[in-house]
Structure 1
Amino acid sequence: MKEEIIIMTTKEIATTLVNMCRNGQIEEVKELLFSPDIVSIEPREGLLPLETRGMDAIRAKAALFVSHVAEFYGSTISDPVVAGDYFSVAWDTDLQMKGEERKTNHEICVYHVKDGKIVSEQFFY
Protein backbone atom coordinates (compact mmCIF):
# COMPACT_ATOMS: atom_id res chain seq x y z
CA MET A 1 0.00 0.00 0.00
CA LYS A 2 1.37 3.37 -1.01
CA GLU A 3 1.64 5.95 1.77
CA GLU A 4 -0.23 9.16 1.03
CA ILE A 5 1.64 12.40 1.64
CA ILE A 6 -0.58 15.17 2.95
CA ILE A 7 0.55 18.72 2.24
CA MET A 8 -0.83 21.44 4.49
CA THR A 9 -2.49 24.45 2.91
CA THR A 10 -1.14 27.96 3.44
CA LYS A 11 -3.94 28.61 5.95
CA GLU A 12 -3.10 25.42 7.88
CA ILE A 13 0.60 26.33 7.92
CA ALA A 14 -0.21 29.88 9.07
CA THR A 15 -2.47 28.63 11.87
CA THR A 16 0.11 26.05 12.97
CA LEU A 17 2.90 28.66 13.04
CA VAL A 18 0.84 31.09 15.11
CA ASN A 19 -0.35 28.46 17.58
CA MET A 20 3.11 26.97 18.09
CA CYS A 21 4.78 30.37 18.47
CA ARG A 22 2.13 31.47 20.97
CA ASN A 23 3.05 28.34 22.95
CA GLY A 24 6.76 29.19 22.90
CA GLN A 25 7.66 26.59 20.25
CA ILE A 26 9.47 29.02 17.97
CA GLU A 27 12.43 26.77 17.16
CA GLU A 28 10.22 23.69 16.77
CA VAL A 29 8.00 25.50 14.25
CA LYS A 30 11.02 26.15 12.05
CA GLU A 31 11.94 22.46 12.00
CA LEU A 32 8.36 21.46 11.18
CA LEU A 33 7.31 24.12 8.67
CA PHE A 34 10.41 25.62 7.03
CA SER A 35 11.88 24.42 3.76
CA PRO A 36 15.54 23.32 4.02
CA ASP A 37 16.25 26.15 1.53
CA ILE A 38 14.43 28.84 3.55
CA VAL A 39 15.37 32.48 2.89
CA SER A 40 15.00 35.03 5.70
CA ILE A 41 15.15 38.77 5.01
CA GLU A 42 15.63 41.51 7.61
CA PRO A 43 14.82 45.18 6.83
CA ARG A 44 18.28 46.51 7.60
CA GLU A 45 21.79 45.42 8.49
CA GLY A 46 22.46 45.33 12.20
CA LEU A 47 22.83 42.53 14.71
CA LEU A 48 21.23 40.17 12.18
CA PRO A 49 22.27 39.83 8.53
CA LEU A 50 20.08 41.28 5.79
CA GLU A 51 19.62 37.86 4.19
CA THR A 52 19.99 34.37 5.61
CA ARG A 53 19.72 31.21 3.48
CA GLY A 54 19.19 27.61 4.61
CA MET A 55 18.20 25.97 7.88
CA ASP A 56 21.71 25.86 9.35
CA ALA A 57 22.05 29.62 8.82
CA ILE A 58 18.55 30.20 10.23
CA ARG A 59 19.47 28.25 13.38
CA ALA A 60 22.69 30.28 13.74
CA LYS A 61 20.77 33.54 13.25
CA ALA A 62 18.29 32.57 15.99
CA ALA A 63 21.12 31.62 18.35
CA LEU A 64 22.83 34.96 17.69
CA PHE A 65 19.66 36.89 18.49
CA VAL A 66 18.96 34.89 21.67
CA SER A 67 22.56 35.40 22.84
CA HIS A 68 21.92 39.17 22.87
CA VAL A 69 18.67 39.03 24.86
CA ALA A 70 19.07 39.96 28.54
CA GLU A 71 15.43 39.40 29.50
CA PHE A 72 12.33 38.21 27.64
CA TYR A 73 8.99 39.37 29.06
CA GLY A 74 6.56 38.01 26.46
CA SER A 75 5.10 38.48 23.02
CA THR A 76 1.80 38.94 21.28
CA ILE A 77 1.13 37.41 17.87
CA SER A 78 -1.89 38.34 15.78
CA ASP A 79 -4.05 35.87 13.93
CA PRO A 80 -2.67 35.28 10.43
CA VAL A 81 -3.88 37.07 7.32
CA VAL A 82 -3.71 34.66 4.37
CA ALA A 83 -3.64 35.61 0.68
CA GLY A 84 -2.82 32.91 -1.85
CA ASP A 85 0.60 31.44 -1.06
CA TYR A 86 1.44 34.18 1.46
CA PHE A 87 0.46 34.99 5.02
CA SER A 88 1.42 37.65 7.51
CA VAL A 89 1.25 38.20 11.24
CA ALA A 90 1.87 41.20 13.47
CA TRP A 91 4.30 40.24 16.23
CA ASP A 92 5.05 42.42 19.27
CA THR A 93 7.91 41.30 21.53
CA ASP A 94 8.58 42.77 24.98
CA LEU A 95 12.25 42.29 25.83
CA GLN A 96 15.48 43.81 27.00
CA MET A 97 18.59 43.40 24.90
CA LYS A 98 21.95 43.29 26.70
CA GLY A 99 23.14 46.81 27.45
CA GLU A 100 19.81 48.39 26.42
CA GLU A 101 16.58 49.52 28.03
CA ARG A 102 13.49 47.32 28.01
CA LYS A 103 11.41 47.89 24.87
CA THR A 104 8.64 46.42 22.75
CA ASN A 105 9.53 45.53 19.17
CA HIS A 106 6.66 45.80 16.68
CA GLU A 107 7.01 43.90 13.43
CA ILE A 108 5.08 42.50 10.51
CA CYS A 109 6.23 39.05 9.40
CA VAL A 110 5.42 37.93 5.86
CA TYR A 111 5.78 34.27 4.89
CA HIS A 112 5.72 32.62 1.45
CA VAL A 113 4.54 29.00 1.22
CA LYS A 114 5.37 26.60 -1.61
CA ASP A 115 4.76 22.84 -1.78
CA GLY A 116 3.59 22.73 1.84
CA LYS A 117 6.64 24.46 3.37
CA ILE A 118 7.59 28.05 4.21
CA VAL A 119 10.21 29.03 1.63
CA SER A 120 10.76 32.61 2.74
CA GLU A 121 10.12 34.96 5.62
CA GLN A 122 10.55 38.72 5.58
CA PHE A 123 10.36 41.08 8.54
CA PHE A 124 9.29 44.73 8.62
CA TYR A 125 9.92 46.77 11.76
Structure 2
Amino acid sequence: MTTQQIADRLVALCRIPDYETAQRELFAEDAVSIEPYASEDFPKETKGLNAILEKGKKFESMLETIHSTRISDPLVAGNVFCCTLNLDATMKGKGRMDMNEICLYHVKDGKIVSESFHV
Protein backbone atom coordinates (compact mmCIF):
# COMPACT_ATOMS: atom_id res chain seq x y z
CA MET A 1 0.00 0.00 0.00
CA THR A 2 1.12 3.54 -0.65
CA THR A 3 1.29 6.13 2.11
CA GLN A 4 -1.87 7.74 0.68
CA GLN A 5 -3.72 4.40 0.73
CA ILE A 6 -2.60 3.72 4.31
CA ALA A 7 -3.65 7.23 5.36
CA ASP A 8 -7.06 6.91 3.71
CA ARG A 9 -7.64 3.48 5.26
CA LEU A 10 -6.60 4.66 8.74
CA VAL A 11 -8.94 7.66 8.58
CA ALA A 12 -11.82 5.52 7.27
CA LEU A 13 -11.43 2.99 10.09
CA CYS A 14 -11.05 5.68 12.75
CA ARG A 15 -14.23 7.41 11.58
CA ILE A 16 -16.29 4.24 12.23
CA PRO A 17 -14.57 4.18 14.91
CA ASP A 18 -12.53 0.96 14.76
CA TYR A 19 -9.10 1.90 16.08
CA GLU A 20 -8.09 -1.68 16.90
CA THR A 21 -8.64 -2.92 13.33
CA ALA A 22 -6.70 0.10 12.05
CA GLN A 23 -3.77 -0.74 14.30
CA ARG A 24 -3.80 -4.49 13.61
CA GLU A 25 -4.06 -3.97 9.85
CA LEU A 26 -1.81 -0.96 9.30
CA PHE A 27 0.82 -0.85 12.05
CA ALA A 28 4.20 -2.59 12.02
CA GLU A 29 4.89 -5.07 14.83
CA ASP A 30 7.62 -2.77 16.17
CA ALA A 31 5.64 0.47 15.81
CA VAL A 32 6.08 3.26 18.35
CA SER A 33 3.33 5.50 19.76
CA ILE A 34 4.32 8.84 21.31
CA GLU A 35 1.99 10.87 23.52
CA PRO A 36 2.38 14.65 23.89
CA TYR A 37 3.40 14.15 27.53
CA ALA A 38 3.66 11.36 30.08
CA SER A 39 0.79 11.03 32.55
CA GLU A 40 -0.23 8.78 35.40
CA ASP A 41 -2.35 6.85 32.89
CA PHE A 42 0.03 6.61 29.91
CA PRO A 43 3.79 6.69 29.34
CA LYS A 44 5.31 9.18 26.90
CA GLU A 45 6.33 6.34 24.56
CA THR A 46 4.77 2.94 23.90
CA LYS A 47 6.76 0.41 21.85
CA GLY A 48 5.37 -2.55 19.93
CA LEU A 49 1.99 -3.29 18.40
CA ASN A 50 0.78 -5.40 21.33
CA ALA A 51 1.59 -2.62 23.81
CA ILE A 52 -0.13 -0.06 21.56
CA LEU A 53 -3.24 -2.26 21.40
CA GLU A 54 -3.24 -2.54 25.20
CA LYS A 55 -2.90 1.24 25.50
CA GLY A 56 -5.97 1.60 23.28
CA LYS A 57 -7.97 -0.82 25.43
CA LYS A 58 -6.96 1.08 28.55
CA PHE A 59 -8.06 4.37 27.00
CA GLU A 60 -11.40 2.89 25.94
CA SER A 61 -11.95 1.60 29.50
CA MET A 62 -11.58 5.19 30.75
CA LEU A 63 -14.38 6.47 28.49
CA GLU A 64 -17.85 6.90 29.92
CA THR A 65 -19.55 8.52 26.90
CA ILE A 66 -18.34 9.62 23.47
CA HIS A 67 -20.37 12.66 22.42
CA SER A 68 -18.66 13.18 19.06
CA THR A 69 -15.53 12.33 17.09
CA ARG A 70 -14.21 14.22 14.10
CA ILE A 71 -11.19 13.21 12.02
CA SER A 72 -9.94 15.32 9.13
CA ASP A 73 -8.93 13.99 5.76
CA PRO A 74 -5.24 13.06 5.77
CA LEU A 75 -2.49 15.31 4.47
CA VAL A 76 0.30 13.23 2.89
CA ALA A 77 3.90 14.18 2.12
CA GLY A 78 6.25 11.39 1.08
CA ASN A 79 6.19 8.68 3.73
CA VAL A 80 4.50 10.90 6.34
CA PHE A 81 0.89 11.89 6.88
CA CYS A 82 -1.14 13.73 9.46
CA CYS A 83 -4.74 14.40 10.36
CA THR A 84 -6.57 16.25 13.09
CA LEU A 85 -8.64 14.45 15.71
CA ASN A 86 -11.32 16.00 17.88
CA LEU A 87 -12.85 13.82 20.59
CA ASP A 88 -15.62 15.18 22.79
CA ALA A 89 -16.03 12.61 25.55
CA THR A 90 -16.92 12.17 29.18
CA MET A 91 -14.11 10.38 30.98
CA LYS A 92 -14.88 8.20 34.01
CA GLY A 93 -14.25 10.26 37.12
CA LYS A 94 -12.86 13.22 35.16
CA GLY A 95 -15.90 14.73 33.49
CA ARG A 96 -16.42 15.91 29.96
CA MET A 97 -13.36 16.80 27.90
CA ASP A 98 -12.89 18.24 24.44
CA MET A 99 -9.63 16.79 23.10
CA ASN A 100 -8.01 18.20 19.96
CA GLU A 101 -4.76 16.97 18.52
CA ILE A 102 -2.73 16.57 15.39
CA CYS A 103 -1.88 12.94 14.71
CA LEU A 104 1.37 12.39 12.79
CA TYR A 105 2.28 9.04 11.21
CA HIS A 106 5.45 7.71 9.57
CA VAL A 107 5.21 4.85 7.07
CA LYS A 108 7.95 2.42 6.07
CA ASP A 109 7.65 -0.70 3.91
CA GLY A 110 3.86 -0.38 3.72
CA LYS A 111 3.23 -0.14 7.47
CA ILE A 112 2.91 2.63 10.04
CA VAL A 113 6.11 2.58 12.09
CA SER A 114 5.33 5.51 14.35
CA GLU A 115 2.48 7.69 15.48
CA SER A 116 2.71 10.82 17.58
CA PHE A 117 0.07 13.10 18.98
CA HIS A 118 0.48 16.86 19.27
CA VAL A 119 -1.71 19.26 21.26
Asked if these proteins are the same fold (TM beyond 0.5), I'd say: yes
* RMSD over equivalenced CA pairs, Å: 0.8
Give, as a single letter, the amino acid of the residue that structure 1 aligns with 2:22: V
Residue equivalent to 2:60: 66
Residue equivalent to 2:85: 91
Secondary structure of 2:9's aligned partner = helix
CA–CA distance in 2 between the matches of 1:25 and 1:66?
11
CA–CA distance in 2 between the matches of 1:100 and 1:52?
23
1:38 aligns to 2:47 (yes or no): no
CA–CA distance in 2 between the matches of 1:74 and 1:30?
21
Q: How far apart are residue 101 of structure 1 and its match? A: 2.2
Structure 1, gaps ≥5 residues long = 1-7
CA–CA distance in 1 between the matches of 2:59 and 2:68?
15
Residue equivalent to 1:15: 8
Give, as a single letter, the amino acid of the residue that structure 2 aligns with 1:38: A
- Number of matched pairs: 118
Residue equivalent to 1:5: none
Larger radius of gyration: 1
Write out per-residue CA displacement over residues 23-60 of structure 1, whole angstroms, 9 at most, x where no aligned residue. 11211011100000010001111121100010111111
Secondary structure of 1:88's aligned partner = strand
In the TM superposition, structure 1's runs of 4+ consecutive aligned residues that sit over 6 Å from their partners are none
